[in-house]
Structure 1
Amino acid sequence: MKYFDYAATCPLDKDAAGIYLKMATDFYGNSSSLHDVGGQSAQLLENCRDTFARLLGVERKGLFFTSGGSESNFLAIEALLTAPKKGGKHIITSIAEHSSIHGTLMRLEQNGYEVTKLPFTSSGMVSIEALKEAIREETVLITIQHTNSEIGTIQPIEAISKLCQEYDIHFHCDFVQGLGKSDSMKLTTQVSSFSFSSHKFYGPKGVGGVYIRPNINWTPFFPGTSHESGLRAGTVNLPGIVAMTVAAEKTIGQMTESRIRFLKLREAFIQSLEPIKEILTIHGELGDKQFPGIVGFSIEGIEGQWLMLECNRLGFAISTGSACSAGMQNPSKTMQALGLTGKKGKEFARVSFGRSTQVEEVEKLGHTIVNITRAFKK
């Protein structure tokens, strides 16, 4: 089986796997314990915090380790709302945000908050003009993703940040698809908080992190919590955190080289689909506004789930969008954000590349999709 679903999850890096095993067997102490065994674990934990702070260009005091992106999104939003810059209960987001964002906001709506969900432009971007028009005096939070997981568009974080500063609004950014794929240093100084998840950059599953600016005087969601400065409950996953740190160092170090590779793979894949170009739509943007390792596309008249199953039968693992929405009957949130509903919305499929993806494999996948399409259209 050839794997083309790296946007959903990545295999564990071998170096990260090795360090995970060593940490789990040799440094098993609880980092909150006061004895020497716990002290060793605590030192390792803080070393990882120092390393991540350096990699991301942030203050270590605002960096917290979690169980992954979903928990990070929840904790960040809840923390920011305990320390708003002004009064109000209005939040702005996009239709295409991750389910963890929408789930958190649905709960907040039940508690009296009003949420405005913005659509995408035809190229998969949040319109700055539409965002500005949606801002009210009582808007206290804007939460917009960095990189869309389904079509790979990179949102205008700097422009959104300027609006937030102008109107005294907190800005949370879901950076789960972005870390290690674009320059994080440009992002981290422009937001109130951001989230990331280990398994998106070849670290272990079940671990991630969130950054909340240290000058924000937030209140814990869970009273009496002692772990991670009171942000979350539960013993920290030290082996996972150390392995995630190793994976992050490697991924960020290879970022420029990886982008060049992904551009070549993307070009090869789209070129291989040339025979069906008349009924093919590639969703997304161009240049720096697009992460090249994700290709979201639609073939007229062919449901994405059926195409995925046919590819799977022939030895290729592709997807129909976010794994967190798998099995749902409605079109993906990104297709809805693009205004594509009903049958048109369900035509969507996604291919995403990773470290081991080869041009020959990409071309073979493209030719397979062309053959599937031709057979279907007969």
Structure 2
Amino acid sequence: MMIYLDSAATAPMRKEAVAAYAEAAEKAFGNTQSLHDAGSAAADYFVSCRKLWAEFLNVRPDGIYFTGNASEANQLAIRSLLNGRPTACRQIISTKLEHASVLSVLHELEKNGYTIDYIDVDRFGQVDMTAFEQAVDEETALVIMQLVNSEMGAVQPVKECTQIAKRFGVPLHSDIVQGFGKLPVDIGSWGVASAVCSAHKIGGPKGVGIAYLDPSIHWQSVYEGTTHQNGFRAGTIDVPGIVSATIAAKHAVIEQPQSYDHARSLQDYLLEHLPDGVIATGDIATKSPFIQGLILPHVEGQWMMLDCNRAQIAISTGTACKIGYGEAMSAMLAMGTEPDTARKFVRISFHQAISTRDIDEFIRVVEKSLAEFTPSS
């Protein structure tokens, strides 16, 4: 049986979420836009799910929207907020540690005349708050600040960034995909303009993203003429998927303190037993314990990933959404890591079922691989 150490890419689906999908697919198969009873039943499920997500995030239900995935949710939220901003505001502030879905839309927006100001981060991936505060002004259109980096788990001070941005009336968008259900999250008290979650990172189904847009903030639809979900996203609503995602989120929120403590204990155990020469990235005191970025002494990450796979251990060399395009490399370079060193990066990530025995087996394979693949060979 495979030891699965890649939950940051996707988590095993919870049995409760599978059961919820099956039940909703049978009972709520109608189109929420239809006026007959089958449509009304589906709409009732949809409304209930919005209310529950609003409770999870401490926000208003009318600010909750559902998409096909978190990547789409990021792009729609960012573009919708920008569409509602004054045309004179053309500066966007972010960092190079964002998810691929955010970095790609920033690249597109730069071609459309926006100036992207990437704030530096330190060697632990922490944003330079002095530089950030100096960068924000009245001409800033949007701040984009991810809560938890998906490569090494660096946690950004989203609440503090939001407070600074608000001094100038600037909205802040936060990708909280790797934080929701794992760290304490309170979007309402933080005051962010928009936030994005992903169902399949917390044991829900793939194909469901969750977006929040503050109803008090002006935004404009990306899709002209769309009526679904107040114009935020076109297309028939996937009610069974949303129900399944909501049940997964409910369990993740309830279990969050216990899950965090479990991940911290696994992180402590891993660091105590790391093979000689293997370096853990990030600030252990402040990072998410669910994500462990490791730099190997003399073996490339791709080699180690394949070696682990042969031993039935699943790890990664970085974010699955951009494998082959160097997102981990981009994050490492932003933190000041040399390119040759960045190529020796691997990531492991935890879920509730992982035990110290699984960590032992991973370490055994790493030690064996490092010993076999010596620098002289």
Query: The TM-score by the shorter chain falls in which range?
Result: over 0.9
In structure 2, how many angstroms separate the alpha carbons of the residues matched to 1:139 and 1:285?
Answer: 30
In structure 2, how many angstroms separate the alpha carbons of the residues matched to 1:370 and 1:181?
Answer: 30
Query: Structure 1 residue 285 and structure 2 residue 286: aligned?
Result: no
**Worse-matched range after superposition: 249-258 or 297-306:** 297-306
For the 8 Å contact 2:151–2:328, the answer to whether it is kept is: no
Where does structure 1 differ by over 6 angstroms across 4 or more consecutive aligned residues? none
Aligned equivalent of 2:361, options 364, 367, 370? 364
Could you say which residue in structure 1 is the equivalent of 2:133? 132
Deviation of 1:190 after TM superposition, in Å, equals: 2.1
% of aligned pairs identical? 35
Query: Structure 1 residue 39 and structure 2 residue 40: aligned?
Result: yes
In structure 1, how many angstroms separate the alpha carbons of the residues matched to 2:159 and 2:120?
Answer: 19
In structure 2, relative to structure 1, the CA distance for the partners of 1:133 and 1:266 (3 Å cut) is same
Equivalence map 1:340-359=2 (5 Å): 340-359=337-356
What 5-or-longer segments of structure 1 have no aligned partner?
none
In structure 1, how many angstroms separate the alpha carbons of the residues matched to 2:361 and 2:13?
Answer: 25
Query: Structure 1 residue 305 and structure 2 residue 306: aligned?
Result: no
Aligned equivalent of 1:321, options 298, 318, 323? 318
In structure 1, how many angstroms separate the alpha carbons of the residues matched to 2:187 and 2:172?
Answer: 15
Equivalence map 1:110-259=2 (5 Å): 110-185=111-186, 189-259=190-260
For the 8 Å contact 1:268–1:363, the answer to whether it is kept is: no
Q: Secondary structure at the match of 2:373?
A: helix
Query: Structure 1 residue 375 and structure 2 residue 376: aligned?
Result: no
Could you say which residue in structure 1 is the equivalent of 2:261? 260
In structure 1, how many angstroms separate the alpha carbons of the residues matched to 2:333 and 2:161?
Answer: 22
In structure 2, how many angstroms separate the alpha carbons of the residues matched to 1:329 and 1:150?
Answer: 11
For the 8 Å contact 1:74–1:101, the answer to whether it is kept is: yes
Deviation of 1:327 after TM superposition, in Å, equals: 1.9
Letter in 1 for 2:283: E
Letter in 2 for 1:229: N
Letter in 1 for 2:124: S
Q: How many residues are aligned here?
A: 374
Q: Secondary structure at the match of 2:147?
A: coil
Deviation of 1:166 after TM superposition, in Å, equals: 1.6
Length-normalised TM-score, structure 1: 0.95
Query: Structure 1 residue 294 and structure 2 residue 291: aligned?
Result: yes
Deviation of 1:264 after TM superposition, in Å, equals: 1.0
Q: Secondary structure at the match of 2:142?
A: strand
Q: Secondary structure at the match of 1:297?
A: strand
Q: CA RMSD in A?
A: 1.6
Letter in 2 for 1:46: V
Could you say which residue in structure 1 is the equivalent of 2:21? 20
Q: Secondary structure at the match of 2:225?
A: coil
**Worse-matched range after superposition: 61-70 or 244-253:** 61-70
In structure 2, relative to structure 1, the CA distance for the partners of 1:156 and 1:86 (3 Å cut) is farther
C-alpha deviations, 1:253-300, integer Å up to 9, x for none? 000001111111111122221x41xx222111133x211111101012
Deviation of 1:11 after TM superposition, in Å, equals: 1.4
Letter in 2 for 1:164: A
